[in-house]
Amino acid sequence: MTVKFETLQQLNAERAARRPAVVITDTATGEQRLVKAAEIAADPLAAELGKQLRMGKSATIEANGKKLFLNVYAPTARLVIVGAVHISQALAPLARSLGYDVTVVDPRTAFASPERFPDVPLIAEWPDVALPPLNIDHYTAFVALTHDPKIDDPALLHAFARDCFYIGALGSKKTHARRVDRLKEQGASEADVARIHAPIGLSIGAVSPSEIAVSIMAEITATLRMPASSKAAAA
Amino acid sequence: MLDRDEDILKAAEDWKKAGHGVALATVVETWGSAPRPAGSSLVINNDGTFLGSVSGGCVEGAVVTEALDVIESGAPKLLEFGVADETAWKVGLSCGGTIRVFVEKVG
């Protein structure tokens, strides 16, 4: 048995389209099959596939007396930061060190300058222009940090539509309550606004921009890695 | 999900398209302190050119040699490397871990 060239091409097409996939190999015989994301729910190994995919981890498992290697191909997670603010200057390099592809969006060119964000892709445009070409998807964490409703609100509406795995917005409970009202007026549902993590970040007493960046990345990591039930317990 | 490896699978596809014999080596199991996690892979072509890593350098040489065999024969191999196996394999992992590497031909 060999890995079929056709399987390899299909797998590479899924990866290029940022769709997760798992290749299952019987390491005794070399027998192999590709399971695309959309096929996982109906697969006999659905539970195991789901678990490994959530962890982003490949592993050998035993099933029906066979040793099966589940090779997990999940898209690289992205972080889209709206607001080229002080916190973002700490957040962008931290997120990159954690393996995220980072993009910073801010129409205010005084903020979105390469001097403030060396080596980070910067888009100095309004969200309605900047965001659609990014093809934001489920494997994207999205944070709105400008404190300016003219920028944050349309950005958040875009994030709802793209099913980002994490959506966070900077601001106190009071600021957030006003934001929720505005977003609903613009057509957001109760479920949409409930998805926003606000105040943003895990509660670790963060004060400095770097510490706030740590609390945000900790919350994003928990959302990415923990099953839904234990997330509720941790919150 | 947070993998920033060179695109090994793309290289496998491209090399195959270019007419090379190609094999993929993938870490399928690890015990103890293994240098690279399950799923780490290495692609080899019939020139002996390779890309990627299964152990951060400890056993790559042996894997490449075995992979050339696999390209020739077409039969997959399951290799094991570790301190416990120093008699079976001349190379071992300095970190004391054990890894199993599945080598298969792209065909």
Mean pLDDT of chain B: 83
H or E element, residue A185: helix A173-185
Check CB contact under 8 Å for B38 and A58: yes
Q: Which residues of A touch B78 (CB under 8 A)?
A: 27-28
Minimal CA separation from B30 to chain A, in Å: 9
Residue B81 near residue B58, CB atoms below 8 Å: yes
Disruptive mutation site among B1, B44, B80, B103 for chain A (greatest number of A CBs within 10 Å): B1
Residue A2 contacts B, CB cutoff 8 Å: yes
Whole-angstrom distance, CA of residue A116 vs CA of residue A30: 51
What does each C-alpha distance from A145 to A105, A106, A134, A142, A151 come to in angstroms? 10, 10, 18, 10, 9
Q: Which of A9, A71, A74 lies nearest to residue B26, judging by beta carbons?
A: A71
Instruction: Specify which residues B30 forms β-bridges with.
Output: B99
Nearest CA in chain B to A23: B39
Residue A196 near residue A156, CB atoms below 8 Å: yes
Asked whether the ipTM of the predicted complex exceeds the cut of 0.85, the reply is: no
| Whole-number CA gyration radius for chain A | 20
**Beta strand pairing status for A122-123 and A140-144?**
unpaired
Q: How confident is the model at residue B91 (pLDDT cuts 50, 70, 90)?
A: low
Q: What is the pLDDT of residues B10-41, one digit of tens each?
A: 999 999 999 999 999 999 998 877 778 899 99
Residue B55 pLDDT greater than 80, yes or no: yes
Instruction: Specify which residues A196 forms β-bridges with.
Output: A167
Whole-angstrom distance, CA of residue A145 vs CA of residue A83: 5
Whole-number percent of chain B with pLDDT over 90: 54
Mean pLDDT of chain A: 92
Q: What is the pLDDT of residues A1-50, one digit of tens each?
A: 456 889 999 999 999 888 999 999 999 988 999 999 999 999 999 999 98
Q: What is the pLDDT of residues A166-214, one digit of tens each?
A: 999 999 999 999 999 999 999 999 999 999 999 999 999 999 999 999 9
